[in-house]
Structure 1
Amino acid sequence: MAFTLAPTAALQGYRLDVLDTVGSTNAVALERALAGEAAPLWIVSDNQVAGRGRRGRVWQAPRGNLAASLLLRPAVALPEAATLGFVAGLAIVEALEAVAPRARFELKWPNDVLGNRCKLVGILLESVALPGGGYALAVGIGVNVVGHPTDTPYPATNLRALGANCGAAELFLALSDAWTQAHALWRDGRGLGEIRARWLKRAAGLGSPVSVRTENRLVEGLFETIDEECRLVIREHDGTIARIAAGDVHFGVAATARSNT
């Protein structure tokens, strides 16, 4: 099956560029933006050889996995546009549920999707200032379809290992459809409350012990919710409420040990 846009996406003006091999779909999206490319544009490949993860990490992806980046020029301030990561999370989970209904998918704050409690999807937002003013945003989504790395701090998996029989192109078709619906719900941030509510229904580790390594310290306690700004809310052991904007998250009784590795 070749990569194609869902009819709903095409009708809303989304375009698609399919690359046989790419270094990083996010990098290509931002380069296109600087060259004057119009948005919204999906850039996809099933062979990404130099993918990027959070905090400069490498995103490993064998041929057959899905690498997709959506180039946008949001009309809102960059801090508001950052919540599109939660829109992307909802969209990819709904796409996964459509193609692999027997597996269990959860959203792991801030930007991962778990399949049967193992990392399946990574989401990375990157932006660039445009010469004429404003900025462009690349919403990168990488999915382990046929393979996954083994040397990761958090257990990983892939759709084939979960028993799904879909390919990257079939998954992208479902994703491009699910994105249009989730993005319409977001409404330039005005619908973030509904996005947050839907995200929490699929949240991994809600109510369980959590450990978060931030730039300044290790925060431990119970994962209570995400707040109106989509920050992670933790009730620490002494009852203090901590609101975390960024950090590496580990759940369960081994959370502290894992966060120190």
Structure 2
Amino acid sequence: MSEPLAFRLRVLDEVTSTNDEVKRALEAGEPEGLAVSARRQTGGYGRQGRTWASPEGGLYLSLLLRPSVDAALLPTLSLVTALAVRRAVAGLLPAEAAESVLVKWPNDLVVPAAARPPELLDAAAGRGTRSRGDAGDSRTEVRFASAIPTISGTTDGLADLLRQPASSSSHLRREGALCERPDQPAVAQPVFRKLCGISLEAHAGGVCVGIGVNVEPPDAVDAAAVGGKNVPVYLPELGFEGNVDDVAAAVLHAFAPLYRAWLAEGFAPLAGEYAAHASLTGRSVRMVNRAGEPVAEGTVASVDAFGRLVLRASDGSRVPVASGEAHLV
């Protein structure tokens, strides 16, 4: 049986990181369901601790969760979150634009460069990407009701992980980013424009999920301070006519049923939907580790039930990859 969970959304003005706000709440023992967003971040970060400026106009949102699942399943929560954000964004866009929004393994949303008019590509090329969000003084608190199951006890596999001391934070982000080859300028010849980034951290007995969505483009002054190696796309360029609060509400609404399904059955039942909107399928990639060393190469065949990127090697064998960066070759 599932019990309703009300997302307690706290909207703040300016913070270092909404992830930091959620991790402090985890340390304080706050129950599952807290969501923190901020208008601006001064020290937001994403996977691998990469940092960006986060000016007003983007969605910077972090969720406090306490899932009772096996540790092996936990990294797939980033894929589930990407699906939730994709569902939310697609519901806010015209149908044709919605179809162009793709999930990029393991935890981003992108739009093919060719899907946007040339004048928009030229305008976006001069901007940087925002950070995924994290969170001042609380201005508002809104509750979004959803049904999420309460599972008694803690499954053995996650017990040790969630018993870490409050000072310890395990980065469970599946380390992955689509990078173009060094001899292919990222801005001049981009394959994708980035719309959203996601991070996942186990901390103090729970999990902090960070979500950053490029909603409105920054003004000229803020744009100069925004970093990041990806070329962004912003929702109004895809036909969106709402605001950041609309996107936050849609994301929380879409996340709830997917999270419930994931808690009950894992990622396997969601793999088909992920595959239907996957950006890397059919592309030739070289996977590298954090040190930049090659670990696998092949054509992306699928994402399996365990959330691994499956490559088809030159000899026809299938190679599952759990983490790494995918470079187009």
Please list the CA deviations of residues 110-159 of structure 1 after superposition, one character each: whole Å capped at 9, or x if unmatched. 00001343111000001113xxxxx1101111001112777543332221
Which region of structure 1 is more displaced relative to structure 2, 65-74 or 238-247?
238-247
Structure 1: give runs of 5+ residues left out of the alignment: 1-9, 130-134, 257-261
1:21 touches 1:46 (CA, 8 Å); kept in 2? yes
Q: Per the alignment, in what secondary structure is the counterpart of residue 20 of structure 2?
A: helix
Q: How many residues align?
A: 237
Please list the CA deviations of residues 154-187 of structure 1 after superposition, one character each: whole Å capped at 9, or x if unmatched. 3322212333222110001111110112112213
2:53 touches 2:227 (CA, 8 Å); kept in 1? no
1:62 touches 1:147 (CA, 8 Å); kept in 2? no
Aligned partner of 1:110 among 106, 113, 116 = 106
The one-letter code of the counterpart of 1:166 is G
Structure 1 pair 64–151 and aligned structure 2 pair: CA distance change class (3 A): closer
Counterpart of 1:242? Answer: 319
The one-letter code of the counterpart of 2:313 is E
State the Cα distance separating 1:11 from its structure 2 match.
Answer: 5.1
Q: Per the alignment, in what secondary structure is the counterpart of residue 58 of structure 1?
A: coil
CA distance in 2, matches of 1:55, 1:219: 20
Which is higher, the Rg of structure 1 or of structure 2? 2
Counterpart check, 1:185 vs 2:261: yes
Please list the CA deviations of residues 1-27 of structure 1 after superposition, one character each: whole Å capped at 9, or x if unmatched. xxxxxxxxx953321211111211111
Structure 2: give runs of 5+ residues left out of the alignment: 113-191
Aligned partner of 2:298 among 221, 224, 236 = 221
Counterpart of 1:14? Answer: 7
Structure 1 pair 146–30 and aligned structure 2 pair: CA distance change class (3 A): same
Q: Which has the higher contact order (CA 8 A, sep 6+)?
A: 2
TM superposition score normalised by structure 1: 0.83
The one-letter code of the counterpart of 1:184 is R
CA distance in 2, matches of 1:218, 1:163: 40
Percent identity reads 33
